[in-house]
Amino acid sequence: MTDEQGGLRGWAAGRRKVWSRLRFTSLRLRLVVVFALVALTAAVSASGIAYWLNREAVLTRAQDAVLRDFRQEMHNRAGALPAHPSQDALQRTAGQMAGSSQRFSVLLVGQDADGRTVYGTSGGLSGFSLRDVPASLRAAVDKRQPLSETNKAPYHLYWQRITVHGTPYLVAGTKVIGGGPTGYMLKSLEPEAKDLNSLAWSLGIATALALVGAALLAQAAATTVLKPVHRLGVAARRLGEGRLDTRLRVSGTDELADLSRTFNNAAAALEKRVADMAARDEASRRFVADMSHELRTPLTAITAVTEVLEEELDSESGGIDPMIEPAVRLVVSETRRLNDLVENLMEVTRFDAGTARLVLDDVDVADQITACIDARAWLDAVELDAERGIHARLDPRRLDVILANLIGNALKHGGSPVRVSVRASQEEVVIQVRDHGPGIPEDVLPHVFDRFYKASASRPRSEGSGLGLSIALNNAHIHGGDITAGNSPEGGAVFTLRLPRDASALAAQPAEGESKDTDHGDGKGRKDGDGAVREPGRSGGENGSAREGAR
């Protein structure tokens, strides 16, 4: 039973391979079919013309010989009979005429001295008779033709081809000039028909051989033409896979060689262009990373000063002049915003450089969302629909970054209440964040995750850096998940986060020099010296600029 199943599987695999090859070589099949059709048309046409010409030649030659002999016999033997011969004389003369070299049957019809119609046939009583002669031929033979300069005789020899029980015959008749019997001749053309049938079979075999030869030639020609095309297809696939050093071996000076040279030139130009773009992109990323690192040092000092100023603003002693208090608050706010922008830029450069790594832990999704909301004092503005006990192996810090950006973005641009719901399957966790605002315009939806995208050109400045949603999406991708944006039929925007239940397969050790404790712009509120969270929720909507002006 096992061998039988193995045989069936092998047969099925072989059939699939054949069909796959047929589909892969469809151009080859078309070439073979076209060649075969051309060869078949040419062979059939040539065979038909040859058969028709040979048929006419064979039949005409046989017919002329028989008619010439019959005319001669009528002149020599029938012409020697009296005007009113007896039946015995007709019978004897018919037998003599039939013994000629052509071996045809003869029927003589005349009138005896008493005016009775008498017959003489070479085949006896059961042989060739007047019933075997077509009426049209008898009428033509008996019809007297008017004499003229071009017509010297009143009667002529007429002939006709007939078929009796599938056998072809030649029938002819004429009258003796000057009075005498009327003679008819019947000659079988079966030998000539057999010769023509043999010729037809020979031409048919030649046509079949020509068709097979054309198919073989077409196969050889198709292989010659399609082999370079196949190599070009393989090279194009390798080029599409990123192997930009792929080149074709060029040989010859025909069109296919020109195509190979064009491909090589295009591949070389593409490789150079990609290398230039990669170099520029690397330079841009390095510039952003270096700029972000360089800005951190002065920003640390500025942040320390602004924190002192902020403490003075909040102190009861009123150490800040009321006239400059608005300016001080603006400096504190903008400094914090600049610090967030630098942190976000550093996080983006980590994703671009591929150095971002996961630090996995078993988390309760509902507890994680609750902690994110509570840390930012969003409990009154967010409705949570999540069952406890939905566990997943994820990076808690990066999950908090995603949730903070999505929920903060919904609160800033959609308005409360914001509803967060969690669904889980065996393979993934789905978190939906829905607000009750006007929704996202259709022309903005494709760009909500773009970096620094502004939905309204008239409002290029916002509290966010325009990187929050992009960072959230990258954090989802590094887990092997995704985020999609859309509008709910009941109104409001809906962001759907899909994460695997276990991202262990994508986890890796942190890159050399990357600290797991480094602040990645996760949107959490900063803590001052006594551990109190300051300005909760302020950085949760870093991605808000993507939807700003659309609500």
Rg over CA atoms, the chain = 53
Spatial separation of the C-alpha atoms in residues 66 and 104, rounded to whole Å: 8
Q: Which of 267-271, 347-351, 411-415, 501-505 has the lowest mean pLDDT?
A: 347-351
Q: Which residue has the higher pLDDT, 306 or 389?
A: 389
- pLDDT value for 353: 67
pLDDT tops 70 at residue 24: no
Q: What is the mean pLDDT of residues 261-267?
A: 88
Select from 3.30.450, 1.10.3470, 3.40.50, 1.10.260 the CATH code of 27-199: 3.30.450
- 517 residue type, one letter: D
Going by C-beta distance under 8 Å and a sequence separation of 6 or more, which residues neighbour residue 352? 285
Rounded to whole angstroms, what are the CA distances from 467 to 48, 224, 341, 353, 418? Answer: 80, 56, 8, 16, 21
Identify the H or E element spanning 311. helix 255-314
- 413 residue type, one letter: H
Domain parsing of the chain, residue ranges: 27-199, 358-455+465-508
pLDDT tops 80 at residue 235: yes
Q: Which of 366, 497, 367 shows the shortest CA–CA distance to 433?
A: 497
Q: Which of 62-71, 275-284, 403-412, 533-542 has the lowest mean pLDDT?
A: 533-542
Spatial separation of the C-alpha atoms in residues 522 and 467, rounded to whole Å: 11
- pLDDT value for 19: 53
Instruction: Give the DSSP letter of residue 150.
Output: S
- pLDDT value for 126: 58
Q: Which residue has the higher pLDDT, 9 or 133?
A: 133
- 120 residue type, one letter: G
Select from 3.40.50.720, 3.30.565.10, 3.40.1190.10, 3.30.9.10 the CATH code of 358-455+465-508: 3.30.565.10
- pLDDT value for 246: 86
pLDDT tops 80 at residue 316: no
Tokens standing for 403? Answer: 């949730």
Count of Cβ atoms closer than 10 Å to residue 330 Cβ: 10
- pLDDT value for 539: 38
Spatial separation of the C-alpha atoms in residues 415 and 438, rounded to whole Å: 9
Share of the chain above pLDDT 70, in %: 80
Confidence of residue 459 (pLDDT cuts 50, 70, 90): very low
Q: What is the pLDDT of residues 338-361, one digit of tens each?
A: 777 777 667 777 766 666 777 888
Three-state secondary-structure class, residue 516: coil
pLDDT tops 70 at residue 81: yes
| Sequence-separated contacts (24+) of 323-328 with Cβ below 8 Å | none
Q: What is the pLDDT of residues 170-190, one digit of tens each?
A: 999 998 877 788 899 898 888
Cβ pair 259, 231 in contact under 8 A? no
Spatial separation of the C-alpha atoms in residues 13 and 6, rounded to whole Å: 10
